Amino acid sequence: MKMIKNTLFSQTPIEVGQGSTKDNYIMAIESSCDETACAIVKNGREVIANIVASQIKTHEKFGGVIPEIAAREHLDSINVVIDEAFSQAKEIANIEPKDITAFAGTVGPGLVGCLLVGLNAAKTLALVYDKPFIGVNHLNAHLCANYLDTDLKPPFMALLVSGGHTQIIDVKSYSEQTIIGETIDDAVGEAYDKVARLIGLPYPGGPKLDKMAQEGNPKAYLLPKAKVNEFDFSFSGLKTAVLRLIKQLKADNNTENLSEDIIKDVCASFQECVSSTLVKKVKKALEQSGYNQVVIAGGVAANSEIRKKMFALQDEGYKVFAPPMKYCTDNAAMVASCAYFNTNTFDDINVEVFSRVK
């Protein structure tokens, strides 16, 4: 538990986090990329409201997220998701704005124009209701998605796989974490999106590639595994290998339009290469740590094969946690949980947004 001062007015410290003598209701806002989200979470684990406005329809037209357009869309949606979260909390738990313990917002990493919208909304709410403000790191929030609706407690090993990051993290306690390995080039989600584009799948490519892969033969093509340090990753060579494979297949079949069956096999082979590399390294890290718990987090934690291989670790006696799909992709419930568990947070209303991890 921490005593955090309110923002500007009464300056009376308020108890926030584990060990508080009163139940905590944290309202959080997330707007780092293309989801505008607001949630209210009780004591870091119990989701009272979880509202997400996705911009997928807008960005589909452009084949990717255009930062300026995304920021404008956050402006259009932000008040809607906040109102919706408040009315859901009233209906479900009879919680009113005055009952909120603290307001949290994502500070970074993310798109600066997008982050500014959500962060300023969260700070404004803290000022208006005279409650503490807590800034949250988006990556830590993804990890904390595993605390929602579970009884997971550190220590555990974590695989964080998102559009921008691929890391193996040793979570020693709620607040103490060490990155023990990461990608030296592309993130897994980035590799999925780039390969999906090569194959001609529309945005967002990752989930579509996953779907195709489930219908293909994972042993159809042998793709190279990068040689890097024990717990690090590299996916840019794999992407080039897929590009070469597609060119070769087009030449062999004497066509510019590969059959759907061939594409499905390429997807499955790519997915096999990525998922086996990830899980092999996580397993090694687990063995080295002596922990018996492991979690996955981040948007790519929604991937069917990565989940399957991670859950197979249960057969070896490990406890495996993976957030349900709605908490894998960007949401604000994970941000609220992160604020409650005080995981690398910034308890300062003057905190500024940042685009990359410093």
The mark string for 270-309 relative to ligand KG4 (x by CB under 6 A, - otherwise) is ----------------------------xxx-xx------
Q: How far is the CB of 303 from Zn ion (least distance, A)?
A: 14
In whole angstroms, how close is the CB of 271 to ligand KG4 at the nearest point? 8
Question: Scanning residues 160 to 179, which ones bind Zn ion (CB under 5 A)?
Answer: 162
The distance of closest approach from Cβ of residue 21 to ligand KG4 in the complex, given in angstroms and rounded to an integer, is: 35
DSSP state of 220: S
Question: Among 85, 76, 23, 80, which residue's Cα sits nearest to residue 50?
Answer: 85
Select from 108, 164, 181, 323 the one that contacts ligand KG4 (CB under 6 A). 164
At 346, is the secondary structure helix, strand, or coil?
strand
Long-range contacts from 7-10, C-beta under 8 angstroms, 24+ separation: 7/123, 7/126, 7/127, 7/130, 7/131, 7/132, 7/133, 7/349, 8/127, 8/349, 9/127, 9/130, 10/130
Q: Is 204 in the site for ligand KG4 (CB under 6 A)?
A: yes
**Of 235-254, which residues contact ligand KG4 (CB under 6 A)?**
none
Contact between 330 and Zn ion (CB under 5 A)?
yes
Q: Rounded to the nearest whole angstrom, what is the least distance from the CB of residue 180 to Zn ion in the complex?
A: 21
Q: Is 73 in the site for Zn ion (CB under 5 A)?
A: no
Q: How far is the CB of 118 from ligand KG4 (least distance, A)?
A: 14
DSSP 252-285: HHT-SS--HHHHHHHHHHHHHHHHHHHHHHHHHH
Taking alpha carbons only, the member of 323, 358, 343, 352 closest to residue 161 is: 323
Q: Are strands 293-297 and 319-321 parallel, antiparallel or unpaired?
A: parallel
Residue 331 makes contact with ligand KG4 by CB under 6 A: no
102 binds, among ligand KG4, Zn ion, none (CB under 5 to 8 A by kind): none
Name the residues that contact Zn ion, by CB under 5 A.
162, 330
Site of interaction with ligand KG4 (CB under 6 A) = 33, 162-164, 189, 192-193, 204-207, 210, 298-300, 302-303, 329-330
